[in-house]
Each structure stands twice: as structure tokens, then as C-alpha cells.
Amino acid sequence: MVTKLPDRPVKSIYRAGWCRLPAHVVPTDWVGDLFPPGSKSGDLLALYSRRLTTVEGNTTFYAVPNLEVVQRWAAETPESFRFCFKIPREISHSGHLARKTGETLAFVERMSGLGERLGPFFLQLPASYGPAQIDDLARWLVDWPAGYQVAVEVRHDDWYAAPGEADLMRLLEQRGAGRVLMDVRPLSAGPLPGAEENLQRARDNKPDAPLHPLCSSNFALVRYIGHPDLDLNAPLLDEWAARVALPCRAAFARALSGLSGATGASSRCAAAAVGFVRARHGATNTVLKSGTVVDTESGPGQSCHRVQFGT
């Protein structure tokens, strides 16, 4: 059954992070802020995983880590930590998905060394990939390995109109896959200080897709691309906070959200988001205690991170 997202409880909110940088690096400008003064670069992932509990792995879109790196990530993080990896572009942006089954299975197998630390994967499709290719997407999802969650992000305009959207949601529901919901409205909320040169590129990378808060299967990933002026996010965060505040039922939605942050202050964005939700919707404290994750993404040229509250 496909529903409006508000009709599904939101248990977890993820945040994009660390993985926009080289795979083994956490932003050094967090030292003295999020991390203790004098922290060494080689210790940052371990420190990160003990202060925060989830991270989105954008780095795998560009390159698949070797087995040694995966093993190191597992060794440096507690079992409660969660990585959410993007499917490599050689799979998602290289023609027919169904012809990439071997590469897909190999990628999941490589990352499986993280065991319980694996959160949902997500497939970001290019803007050229439209409803005419839905049979190809269906074949790829049929071959997706059991036991691993995956969500799909679409960018072609026809996925957001009839009949493409209904067909997509039906397919995702049938295959037990989630949908990635990208909320780019904050990019138009006002000027982006210091981002004038990169603004068009940022808007190209985060296309002006309409927000249709639909939830397939038992989870959704919400990518909220926030404005660096937190006050401009207020009405939109109110909207999302109302969804997050819903009581937990059998199903739940995993959400990826982003809050742009100024250089040197990005490590405080997640705390600001949580404080905002708590202030607007005190009932969310119950959800937070049961495992809410707050995921905040930085704006053009900034670093990013993720934080989880609860267990």
C-alpha cells in the first residue's frame, strides 16, 4: 500500500556526512568543536562514531572501497553505528541497470563486511532515466539481494506526474523498496551567502523536483537540503517535525535530511535541528528515545555530518 508520508510513522532521520570527503576522512574543522582539541585525523572516525551514530556514504558513488578499508571502518565503529551507502555511479549512471546485476551484487558483498553496521543503500538515478525505463528498474530490483534495504531516488520530471509516479510507487511497494524524497525548497528560500559562484551547480545537483511525500513499503528516505540561514528553514522544519512526531507503529520511515551550515559551524547543525523539532513538537521526545536519527547536510562547498539520538 502506498500512502502519504504523514500516514506512516517516522522513527529515524538520517543525515548525509563524512563521505563527501575522502573515504577515511572526517572534517578536520570539527576538531575543537565536535571533537576534542588536538584530535588526530586518524582517530576522527572512531571519535565520530562514538558521538554520532549514522552516516551517509556518498563516497561510494565515486569509488568502491577496498576490503581493507571496509574492515577498518568496521573495526573503528561500534556495532550500533550505521552506514548508508549510495550505489556507485558505474551502476546507476551507465545505461541499463539490469545489465549491472553482477556489479551490484559485488558492491553489496563488499560492503557486507560491515555486518549490522549497514543501514539502507540508495540508488540515485540520473535525470535522463524516466518512466520508459521502469521495466529495467524492475529487473534490477528483482535481483537486489534479500536482507538489505534499498531506496530509489528519481529525477526525471515524468516520475512526478501520472502515470509514471503511480507506476513507480506500485513497483517500489511490490519489491519492498523505499523512495528517496528530495526536499530542495530551501534552495529558493533566500540568497545563499558565499555560494553565489556555486549556486547554479548546487541547484543542478539538487534538481528542482516537486515534493510529493509518498511512502512505499515500510520506509522512505527524506533528503532535506537546508538553507544556511536556519530561520528560513523554520516553516519547512515545522512541516517535517509534524511528520517526525507521529507515534511509532509497525512500519517506520527512515529519513535523510540536510541543513546547510557555515564553515566551522557544521557540526552544530544537527543539534540545531533536533532542538527545533523538540521546541515545536515536544511529543517527539518519545520518538527520539526510541531511536530517532537527525541527519544534516551542508550547503555548497561545506562539509556534512550525521547524528542520532536514542538507541
| pLDDT computed for residue 275 by the predictor | 47
Does residue 69 surpass a pLDDT of 60? yes
| pLDDT computed for residue 17 by the predictor | 45
> Over the stretch 179-225, which tens digit does the pLDDT of each residue have?
988 888 888 888 876 655 555 565 556 777 888 888 887 777 778 88
- Least confident piece of the model among 139-143, 255-259, 272-276: 255-259
Per-residue CA distances from 159 to 126, 132, 133 (Å)? 12, 10, 11
Question: If pLDDT is split at 50, 70 and 90, which confidence band does 251 have?
Answer: very low
Q: How far apart, in whole angstroms, are the C-alpha atoms of residue 2 and residue 172?
A: 9
| pLDDT computed for residue 221 by the predictor | 78
Does residue 292 surpass a pLDDT of 60? no
Question: If pLDDT is split at 50, 70 and 90, which confidence band does 174 have?
Answer: very high
Work out the angle between the directed axes of helices 67-76 and 44-51 (0-180°, nearest 10): 50
Higher-confidence residue: 179 or 272? 179
The burial class, CB within 10 Å (0-12 / 13-18 / 19+), for 269 is buried
Cis peptide before 145 (omega within 30 of 0): no
Q: Cβ(215)–Cβ(222) under 8 Å?
A: no
How many structural domains is the chain composed of? 1
Q: How far apart, in whole angstroms, are the C-alpha atoms of residue 79 and residue 111?
A: 14
In sequence order, the β-bridge partners of residue 124 are 153
Q: Cβ(173)–Cβ(1) under 8 Å?
A: yes
Does residue 9 surpass a pLDDT of 70? no
The answer to whether the pTM exceeds 0.85 is: no
> Over the stretch 39-57, which tens digit does the pLDDT of each residue have?
888 888 888 888 877 788 8
| pLDDT computed for residue 27 by the predictor | 58
Higher-confidence residue: 244 or 22? 244
Most confident by average pLDDT, 57-71, 184-198, 288-302: 57-71
| Helix boundaries (H) for the chain | 44-51, 67-76, 89-92, 101-111, 134-142, 164-175, 199-205, 234-244, 269-280, 284-289
Does residue 289 surpass a pLDDT of 60? no
| pLDDT computed for residue 203 by the predictor | 54
What CATH number should be reported for the domain holding residue 301? 3.20.20.410
| pLDDT computed for residue 205 by the predictor | 64
Q: How far apart, in whole angstroms, are the C-alpha atoms of residue 111 and residue 115?
A: 8
| pLDDT computed for residue 184 by the predictor | 87
Give the closest residue to 47 by CA, choosing from 56, 58, 38: 38
> Over the stretch 18-42, which tens digit does the pLDDT of each residue have?
433 333 445 566 788 778 898 888 8
Higher-confidence residue: 152 or 55? 152
Instruction: Give the residue numbers spanning the domain of 300.
Output: 3-308
